[in-house]
Structure 1
Amino acid sequence: MSSICVKGCYWRKKFFTGNLKVFISTIIIFLLIFSLTPCVHAEEQVSPPKAVGGVLDLTHWDFDKQGPVGLDGEWEFYWERLYEPHHFHSGHVKPEDGYYMEIPRSWNGFEVDGKTIEGMGYGTFRLTVKLPENGNPKAIKLTSISTSHKLWVNGRLVSSDGKVGTTREDSEAKHYHKVITLDQSSGTIELVVQVANFMHRRGGIWQSIKLGNSQDILKLRERQVIIDMVLFGSLFIIGLYHLILYLLRRKDKSPLYFGIFCLLISLRSLLVGEIIFLYYFPQASQELVLKLEYMTFYLGIAFYALFLNALFPKELPDKISRIIAAVSFGITLLLSLPRHISIPPY
């Protein structure tokens, strides 16, 4: 009887382990498919025009057929100057007073007067966009502007996140992903963006600002929010499922570690992408959001290493998994300290 029980336990464990391997492999395959899908679409689309000398000519771009376009290319850039639209219209500021910076990118490493810019600082960006005639109402989708900004469109202030200042004391970091609907459908659009960063190691306009027909931009954002929420819900359910498995069978700790890993990544999905976390907790500081983003990443590494060790103890010995976990927990502890930390990107 005892030999039968031993064999039964052995085959149940083998069945569980085998299915878990298949499950993990399936997740990896799906992640690869989803990550490669945008690349395939990008190759099929016609390359949009780019801004040259602070001017983006979209007069021949068909927004109805070709969809939204990124406002990429050479923007006017004025380092350590906070200009508003009236400064340009009055002739107080001229393009030759500044520089041209390729957007999207951080301003780290950009040279001004022979000196290399670091992450902390402030500046003004400006771009003129020429639209085709007889178009539909337009909208702009803002993403990562590090880490506070003011945006004027044709002289009207349409977005302000955080507080733009010239020092750390005068500034407050905050940035939402948002859609700004414009009244204009044709003609020329002037964008003036003040940006200040005294929190993160990288500053500037990291990601492409999208311009398109209002309904297309809104659909784009809705689709990205749905993807983030589906990812959150799926990982959250998977995490709870594995925690329940552990409660039913506590001798095997691999479901515990994998469940915690899934819950951490599900939380992180709310802190990246559209940063949905801020819509549920708008009073949360940008520093808190950033720290949670990094903490969930490093904690995820720790618990995934422990999970692999529990599942494959020969392939990943206890010593190595504990070192990985200890380093990850140590970094997480540093991130939790209540002081200003310039966190390097992972």
Structure 2
Amino acid sequence: MIFTVSISSIQKSFSTLVKFCRYPLILVFALLFSQSCHLDVSPTLLAKDGVLDVRMANLSEDTVNLIGKWEFYWNEFLDPKQISPTNISYLSVGVPWFSQANEDGVDYPSFGYASYRLTILLPPKTEERETYALLIPVLHSAYKIYANGKLVAENGIIGKNDTTHKPSFHTKIIPLIDINQKVDLVIHISNFSHKYAGIHGIIRFGKLEKIIQVWNEYHSATCIILIFMGLLSIYHALVYAINRSEKNALRMSFVYLGILILSATLTETRILFNFLSDDYCIPLFRLSRVGFVIVLYFGGSVLFSLAQMRIFKKMLVLLKIYSLTFLMVSLLTPIKHLALVSYYFEFFSVIFVILGLISVSLALYFQRKESKLYFFSLLLAVIGGIIDVILISNPNLGFRPMGLISLYLFIFPQTLGVTFGLIRVYKRSESISKELYKRKEALEKKVKARTDELEKANRWKANFVSLISHDLRSPLNSVNQILDVIDFSFSETSEEEKKKFLDICKTGVTQSLKMLEQLLDVSRFDAFGTKLIQTKFSVNDLLNEIIESVEPLATLKGIRIQKDTPIEAEIIADRTLIGEVFKNILTNSIKYSYLNSEVWVGVSYKGKWLSVEIRDRGLGMSEEQIHKLTGEENIKSTPGTAGERGTGLGLQLCNNILEAHFGKLRIKSVLGVGSSFEISLSKSTKSVLLVDDSGNFRSDLAEVMRRNQWIVIEAGNGEEALSHLARITPSLIITDLHMPGMNGISLIHEWEGRRNQNQKIPIILISSDAPLSGGNSFLEEEGLETIVSAYFSKMYKAEDLCEQIEMILM
């Protein structure tokens, strides 16, 4: 039993360890794989006693690293044509001469001058003319190169003291012309400006085209890295600008700026040195130290802030002092001392790297935010640095140092950490915004309900006062007076007069009933807001019904109604209210037309609009009368040509109804000639049922969709939406998810159960809870992916939401 528990515990611990270390293990395996590939494609040949035999090398496929033991002549500029020098000694190249000892066991100093010599034995010459070349890295000094006794290149000005010596940090490609069986290389080097001296970089030898290819690869990689570092620096600065609490983002912006400087001055191509002349060599060297200081200070600030401990805040103060001192030294120290001083500053910077590793380790122990990423990235950077030290000290291993790759291993995970932090802030902001939006909707509903009640009361009061104060009171007063007369002299009044008085009373009551009927239309349309019961219907059929109902009134005045409807027009609208518009205008035309005249009714299409025009020959109106009729002020009605009376509310009601349908009424009139009334209605059959309990959101979206030629049918809840669907089949259904009573999902399932098979309507679900992107997962969870076309957030602007909806339907 104990044994089983132990095995289980070991397995669990091992699984946890693998999961914990999965990211660094992947990176380590990738690095090992890349290094192993390097061994296969770049075989290493070593020079022995100043001779390098490349006769068996395949120079058509690869280049050769000129490493191994070269002849070395300290404090001597060897005659390149001298065949048998006397004081021969040998020195390894690929490492600086100050790290190697002479025959007496004494290390060479950094500052001095010397000559290197190497004989390269070449493969047998082919019939083709072959051009070889050398790729010379930065040697941190000045040099001259001779091939077979001829000067082929020089860099800077060599000298035997610091007054005659002028350094140059350029890299060069040196073609070797007319080379046969061997190359006798002699390199004169002087150094009085840098800690690292001699041939400490790796010189490459090969055919010219391969050397150019290698150079282009290095140069392109450096340019890409520089651009990438610049973009990352800007990105982190923008992250900080968006969220000022992310101070690490600002620090990382400076870290990337420092790495950008280091990449331009310390990578193998030394791209800035190559772009500029030797006059800028020393300033660029100082600039590289400045880049190192920037990376050290701001990178250390990031690491020390992770542990959130007081002791590391003190270390941060110490790091600031150290970095400022290093910066001043880099800018002000004379060049002959700068290399040595900066070397020791760089060496002691390792202390802060170790402190940073301790800080990150403590952060990992206390489970601070993003501590895993920082711990493994710093650990890999340290491992990469140790590997570099080993490779630089032992160039014969055949590996090239990783250089700034170690630093990249440190900064990329930090970029991920900052980005993850920004994503968390964004999600938190989105969650807060949703909560605020919900509260805003709830408050809107309360305010809207109260406002609707007050507006309803005010509208009712205004309509009743207007009606009683004008037309409604007059006929009832007349009826009341006539009844008083009949009652006073009933016995003395003849039957004929009684009949006449009763007809007058009946006419007055009929007029009052007509006015009350119009008032009820106003109350249905106006008192409860825009309650449109929209259906698809034929305009021609509706006009026929209206004309038939007013025909008796026209016949009494001898007026002919001429109809010109050459098209069969169908629209989506409230049939009853549009019929009220037609009836009001047609009745008015008959009312104000001369006896035995003509009223013309025509239907036509004008662009995106259906036009219904009614023209009469009658009294006509002035511009002032038209303005009053279409305005909002209450007016008294004008008697018709036969003394007819009206409410004075007809055209105002028509305008309100057409406005709710986004239609228009245009009036043209000439006094004494007649009037023309043009009713314009949208001929679009592109309709949408918009279901949302938030009046403000619904009205905003409806307004935008109507401007985009949609016929919008609004509903405040699921029950109301189903009643609309019983009368009309829209082109699209948009429904809110959260509604009182029947919510959006219940509405969708209810409609799916009721609809006919041929009533397949696209459905779009909206909600303040919906993410701004990636809402399909919610539809899959609810089993709606085959029913609902899309799930959108209400956080979008109405214009953007409408645009996305129309893109879904295209």
Query: What range is the shorter-chain TM-score in?
Result: 0.7 to 0.9
What SS does the aligned partner of 2:205 have? strand
Q: CA deviation at 1:78?
A: 0.7
TM-score by length of structure 1 reads 0.83
User: Superposition pairs for residues 1-346 of structure 1, below 5 Å?
Assistant: 36=32, 38-45=34-41, 47-65=43-61, 67-86=62-81, 88-89=82-83, 94-112=84-102, 114=104, 115-134=106-125, 136-184=130-178, 186-272=180-266, 273-310=268-305, 313-314=308-309, 317-340=312-335, 341=338, 342=340, 343-344=342-343, 346=347
Letter in 2 for 1:100: Y
Q: Report SS of the residue matched to 1:204.
A: coil
| Distance (whole Å) between structure 1 residues aligned to residue 311 and residue 168 of structure 2 | 41
Shift of 1:95: 4.0
1:117-149 CA distances to partner (integer Å, 9 max, x unpaired)? Answer: 110100111111110013532111001323110
User: 2:29 and 2:136 mapped to 1: Cα distance?
Assistant: 26
Residue 219 of structure 1 aligns to a residue whose secondary structure is helix
| 1:170-220 deviations in Å (ceiling 9; x for gaps) | 101113111112224541111110000011122110011100111111111
Change (3 A) 1:234 1:31: farther
Q: TM-score, normalised by structure 2?
A: 0.37
- In 1, Cα distance between equivalents of 2:287 and 2:27: 23
Listed one character per residue, the Cα deviations across residues 229-273 of structure 1 (whole Å, up to 9, x for unaligned) are 111111110101111222233233211111111111012100012
What amino acid is aligned across from residue 296 of structure 1 in structure 2? G
Superposed displacement of residue 228, structure 1: 1.1
Q: By how many angstroms is 1:314 displaced?
A: 4.6
Query: Is the CA contact 1:70–1:211 (under 8 Å) kept in the aligned structure 2?
Result: yes
Whether the 8 Å CA contact 1:110–1:117 is kept in 2: the answer is yes
Question: Tell me, which stretches of 5 or more residues in structure 1 are unaligned?
Answer: 1-24
- 1:324 deviates by 2.3
Report the structure, 1 or 2, having the larger helix content.
Answer: 2
Task: Note if contact 2:137-2:202 (Cα within 8 Å) is conserved in structure 1.
Answer: yes
Distance 1:29 1:289, change over 3 A: farther
The one-letter amino acid of 2:314's match is K
Question: In 1, Cα distance between the equivalents of 2:247 and 2:90?
Answer: 55
Structure 1 residues 84 and 185 mapped into 2: Cα distance closer, same or farther (>3 Å)?
closer
Q: Give the whole-Å Cα distance in 1 for the aligned partners of 2:134 and 2:171.
A: 11
- Tell me which amino acid in the other structure corresponds to 1:221: W
SS of structure 2 residue aligned to 1:139:
strand
| Letter paired with 1:103 | V
The whole-number CA distance in structure 1 between the counterparts of 2:310 and 2:37 is 38
How far apart, in 2, do the equivalents of 1:284 and 1:242 lie? 34
| Partner Cα separation in structure 1 for residue 29 and residue 326 of structure 2 | 31
- Aligned residues of 1:308 and 1:316 also touching (Cα < 8 A): no
**Partner residue, 1:3:** none
**Are the structure 2 counterparts of residues 36 and 232 from structure 1 closer, same or farther at C-alpha, using a change threshold of 3 Å?**
farther
Separation in 2, partners of 1:338, 1:46: 41
Identity over aligned residues, as a percent? 21
- Larger deviation: 201-210 or 289-298? 289-298
> Tell me, what secondary structure is at the counterpart of 1:216?
helix
8 Å contact kept, 2:168–2:278 = no
CA contact (8 A) 1:79 1:98 kept: no
In the alignment of these two chains, the number of paired residues is: 315
Question: Relative to structure 2, which stretch is displaced further, 176-185 or 153-162?
Answer: 176-185
The secondary structure found in structure 1 opposite 2:76 is: coil
Alpha-carbon spacing, 1:181–1:112, altered in 2? closer, same or farther (3 Å): same
Please report how far the alpha carbon of residue 47 of structure 1 lies from its aligned counterpart in structure 2 after TM superposition: 3.5
8 Å Cα contact 1:254-1:308 kept in structure 2? no
Greater shift, 266-275 or 46-55, is seen at 46-55
- Aligned partners of 1:253 and 1:278: how far apart in 2? 34
Q: Secondary structure at the match of 2:332?
A: coil
**SS of the counterpart of 1:146?**
coil
CA separation of 1:38 and 1:211: change in aligned 2, threshold 3 A: farther
1:15-41: CA deviation from partner (whole Å, max 9, x where unpaired): xxxxxxxxxx98x89986886565222
Higher strand proportion: 1
1:298 Cα offset (Å): 2.3
**Greater RCO (Cα-Cα under 8 Å, separation 6 or more):** 1
Assess, with a 3 A threshold, how the Cα gap between structure 1 residues 257 and 109 changes in structure 2: closer, same or farther.
closer
| Structure 2 Cα separation of the partners of residues 303 and 229 of structure 1 | 24
User: In the superposition, relative to structure 1, how do residues 36 and 322 fare at CA in structure 2: closer, same or farther (>3 Å)?
Assistant: farther
| CA RMSD, 1 decimal | 2.6
8 Å Cα contact 1:174/1:285 also seen in 2: no
For 2:79 and 2:278, how far apart are their aligned partners in 1?
A: 28
The one-character-per-residue Cα deviations of 1:40-69 (angstroms, maximum 9, x if unpaired) are 22332464332111111111111123x100
Relative to structure 2, which stretch is displaced further, 36-45 or 129-138?
A: 36-45
Structure 2 vs 1, CA of residues 32 and 321 (structure 1 numbering), >3 Å: closer, same or farther? farther
Q: 1:283 to 1:43 in 2, by over 3 A?
A: closer
Distance 1:202 1:284, change over 3 A: same
Q: Which amino acid aligns with 1:317?
A: F
Deviation sequence 1:296-318 (CA, Å, 0-9, x none): 11221100122334555359832
Contact 1:165 1:171 in 2 (8 A): yes
Amino acid at match of 1:146: H
Letter of the structure 1 residue corresponding to residue 275 of structure 2? Y
C-alpha contact (below 8 Å) 1:70/1:210 kept by paired residues: yes
User: Which whole-Å CA distance do the structure 2 matches of 1:316 and 1:61 have between them?
Assistant: 58
43-52 or 227-236: which moved more? 43-52
Within 1, Cα distance between the matches of 2:30 and 2:263?
A: 15
Query: In the aligned structure 1, how far is the partner of 2:320 from the partner of 2:29?
Result: 29
Listed as ranges, the gaps of 5+ residues in structure 2 are: 1-21, 348-810
* Corresponding residue number in structure 2 for 1:7: none
Mapped to 1, the partners of 2:52 and 2:192 lie a distance apart of: 30
